[in-house]
Structure 1
Amino acid sequence: MPMVGAADKDIIVVLRDSNLPQTDVIDTVLPFSSSIVSARELIAERVRAECDKRLPAGMTYRLLRLDTLSESEKASFQAQLDAAGETVELQIERALEAFETNGFLLLVDETQIENLDEDIRLGSGSVVTFVQLTPLVGG
């Protein structure tokens, strides 16, 4: 994986999980070794960080739309994933599908990213925001 690593000049990016209205905002940082990544790579690395437990507890399960589960439900879900042998790659595919079906918005430095293959320029201190969308009842 060439994107994230211990390169001499890591780019430190702020990952922000948010919902609408912004009542629940959680920030953390993640290093990237390349200043240009695709949205696909950015989402994949976010999922890998979640799976590797490099993210704070409040940021886990967000991209898979499981943030409304209780802690015991999350533990049960994780046990099911483990029992099923679900791989990180499958979780990445689910997150990419959620992006494509408007399960969440991706903003980089306040600019909405709309295409998985769009090149994104990151700088140290760039803010990458994952905005959780809540479906409306009845529509």
Structure 2
Amino acid sequence: MPSTLYISGQILGKTKPLFSEWCLPLPQTLTSITLRELLTQVVLAEVEAFRTRSEERRLIKTLSPSEIRTGVEKGKIDMGGRDIVQTVDPQEAVDTVLQAFEDGFYFVFVDEQQQETLDSIVSLKTDSQLMFLRLVPLVGG
């Protein structure tokens, strides 16, 4: 029974990941779903995570010595306290992802099987892997 979907991203021809792998808890009863529905769930989860991160950044926090060291290593020490308001329309985000798939900007692989259409049925297993493979167009073409 599915429990967790691990999500990763790669750029064709690059070894560095597109983003850090993250996971999405899934209902135990979910064993098959269309790619369209799966991508919708992934995008909505990421929009919600973005909202949460934005709210956390509004708070000013006291950093521990290890957090300061980590910040120095990364080149940025962040205590929060920003009132930057960024809004994301969840439906617009979903529509953009679905259109980008249709336009061939990226491929989707679920458990190493390429998904060809948004309405194809995806069979999920316990701890399934979802990978986005972003394609990079040739310069001038």
Common fold by TM > 0.5: yes
Deviation at 1:109, TM superposition (A): 0.8
Identity %: 29
Q: TM-score, normalised by structure 1?
A: 0.68
For each residue in 1:98-127, what CA deviation from the matched residue of structure 2 results, as whole angstroms up to 9, or x when unmatched? 000011100011110011011101011211
Which secondary structure state, in structure 1, belongs to the residue aligned with residue 49 of structure 2?
coil
Q: Which residue does 1:117 correspond to in 2?
A: 119
Deviation at 1:132, TM superposition (A): 1.2
Q: Say which one has the larger Rg.
A: 2
Deviation at 1:22, TM superposition (A): 3.6
Which secondary structure state, in structure 1, belongs to the residue aligned with residue 92 of structure 2?
helix
**1:52 corresponds to which of 35, 48, 52:** 48
Q: Which residue does 2:92 correspond to in 1?
A: 90
Distance 2:15 2:45 in 1: 23
Q: Which residue does 1:128 correspond to in 2?
A: 130
Distance 1:16 1:30 in 2: 11
Aligned structure 1 segments of 4 or more residues deviating by more than 3 angstroms: none
Between the two proteins, the alignment pairs up a number of residues equal to 105
Whichever residue aligns with residue 92 of structure 2, its letter is L
Deviation at 1:10, TM superposition (A): 5.4
**1:38 corresponds to which of 28, 34, 40:** 34
Which runs of no fewer than 5 residues in structure 1 stay unpaired? 1-8, 58-77
* Aligned CA-pair RMSD: 2.1
Deviation at 1:24, TM superposition (A): 2.3
